[in-house]
Structure 1
Amino acid sequence: MFKKPSLMLRITVAKIFGLVVGIGWAIMLTAMPQAGIFDLLGYLLWWVTLGAMVGAFGVIDWLPVLNRRFTWWLRGPWIAGWLGLVAVMLAYGDMAALLQSYFQGFHLFNSPWWFVAACALFGLVCDLIATIAAGDGKETVQML
């Protein structure tokens, strides 16, 4: 999209995508009876921060241990899924109560572990958009 790869542009694009997803997530949470204002604001800030992390990790495009390229379709879901896993492990009880209040009769989506899959999907799309808009790898941090 732009001629010169840039890390700041990459992070900005990823944060804007995270803001859009966060606003959508907050709108969805308004339908849940137990969701308070801190839940709405917390999830909004979560998606923006997750976008920033996915954007910042776009610099890493090589895995020296495996001697392989770390492509966007692996890097984005990996970092976002990992951070989603950490979030679920830290707030499992609150997430479970929130989901059980919304999906009362339908038990497939009652599990907070679906949040990890949602984060991984977010990372895939976010890293794709950031890579198209601002590139990836060491070119994003070179000054000249």
Structure 2
Amino acid sequence: MLDHPSLLTRFMIGTGIGFLLGVVGFFWMPYVMPAADMMVQFGVLFWYTTLGFVIALVGVFNWKAVVKFSVPWWLRAPVTGAWLNFVLTLLTYNTMQNLLMSTYALGDTFTSPLWFVVEGAVVGLIIGFFATRYGGEKRIPVEQ
């Protein structure tokens, strides 16, 4: 399956890694954020699965016609992950802030929900690396 790049391989790897990270978040959340209910846990699970798929999908389109150059995977994947988590943070800012403030006793540094943007960049980098490494890039996955 991993012998030659393909679109299906790229999507399966991106979605699979996103799902695994979502499962980790699902089971880790009750210990880190006890105030989070089951709906938030399922939201994390489904969000990172979707994030993995979107990063795998965006990785196929590496030529950006607007700026007229190719964006490398190590820039494209973290920016996509950070952007999607930024939008999620804007939509659920108060909920995330309440969860973080009820959890951390480390002061005000880590209570900002905007840390989820950094987390999205790191997760995007991880997913983008494996999706590009095993699923291919540029025209290779499309031609197979």
Matches within 5 A, 1:66-85: 66-85=67-86
CA distance in 1, matches of 2:30, 2:2: 37
Q: What SS class does the counterpart of residue 59 from structure 2 fall into?
A: helix
Q: What SS class does the counterpart of residue 2 from structure 1 fall into?
A: coil
Matches within 5 A, 1:1-144: 2-31=2-31, 32-143=33-144
Q: Please say if residues 60 and 70 of structure 1, whose CA atoms lie closer than 8 Å, have aligned partners that are also in contact.
A: no
Question: 2:51 is aligned with what amino acid?
Answer: L
Superposition RMSD in Å: 1.5
Question: 2:107 is aligned with what amino acid?
Answer: F
**Change in 2 beyond 3 A, CA 1:79/1:105:** closer
Deviations 1:16-59 (A, max 9, x none): 11111111112221112211110111101000000000011111
Stretch moving more, 39-48 or 19-28:
19-28
How high is the TM-score relative to the length of structure 1? 0.92
Question: 1:37 is aligned with what amino acid?
Answer: M
CA distance in 1, matches of 2:59, 2:138: 6
Structure 2: state its 5+ residue gaps.
none
Structure 1: state its 5+ residue gaps.
none
- Number of residue pairs the alignment of both structures matches: 143
How high is the TM-score relative to the length of structure 2? 0.92
Structure 1 residue 105: deviation in Å? 4.5
Sequence identity, in percent? 33
Deviations 1:82-106 (A, max 9, x none): 1111100000011111111111343
Q: Please say if residues 76 and 126 of structure 1, whose CA atoms lie closer than 8 Å, have aligned partners that are also in contact.
A: yes
CA distance in 1, matches of 2:58, 2:49: 14
